[in-house]
Copies of this chain bind each other. A is one copy, B any other.
């Protein structure tokens, strides 16, 4: 159960409500941990009753009240224990690559369209991550920030996001070009 650690990690810098957390996790690859909103509400409840986060009601006008959560001392301890343990292997599941793998038996046009769509998404996420990095490093250049910055964890994970999305976009475009450039499989 490592969702809890992803949630704790997301709450380190900001107090967030379940709804706000859900938006961050919806971007999904953001923290390299995908999770559905319902999981987050459930996990926050569990974390709170375990004393790893503390919730506080925020009264709002014009919109429903919300409960925001902070990591407690015990929560930090939980993170430390998590870091000490051997990490589970990376888990990845991608239907699109499965389709490409089997593409010689399929209608190529559909897969090409899906590759373009994925490339577009990857580009959008790349832009988001790059904007985030600029925000995090402020007026320092990257090198100085990584040498002297106080909080570099989110920057380093953001760099992973950029790399990943950039490669994803390029692979999709290259693959789409390759498939589109071959003998068409649907007769006119």
A175 within 8 A of B: yes
Question: B104 near A146 (CB under 8 angstroms)?
Answer: no
- Chain B residue contacts of A84, Cβ below 8 A: 107, 110
CA distance A82 to B97 in the complex (A): 12
- Chain B residue contacts of A33, Cβ below 8 A: 92-94, 97-98
Question: B92 near A107 (CB under 8 angstroms)?
Answer: no
Chain A 16-34 interface residues, beta-carbon cutoff 8 Å to B? 28-29, 31-34
Whether A178 touches B163, Cβ cut-off 8 Å, given contacts A105-B76, A107-B83, is: no
Copies of the polypeptide in the assembly: 2
- Chain B residue contacts of A66, Cβ below 8 A: none
Q: Tell me which of A87, A95, A160 has the highest count of chain B C-beta atoms within 10 A of its own C-beta.
A: A95
User: Which of A6-14, A44-52, A55-63, A126-134 is the contact stretch?
Assistant: A6-14
Chain A 142-180 interface residues, beta-carbon cutoff 8 Å to B? 146-147, 150-154, 156-157, 159-160, 163-164, 167-168, 170-171, 174-175, 178-179
Query: Which residue of the partner chain B has the closest CB to A86?
Result: B114
Interface string of A65-91 (1 = CB under 8 A from B): 000000000001001101110111111
A96 within 8 A of B: yes
A103 within 8 A of B: yes
Q: Tell me which of A105, A159, A168 has the highest count of chain B C-beta atoms within 10 A of its own C-beta.
A: A105
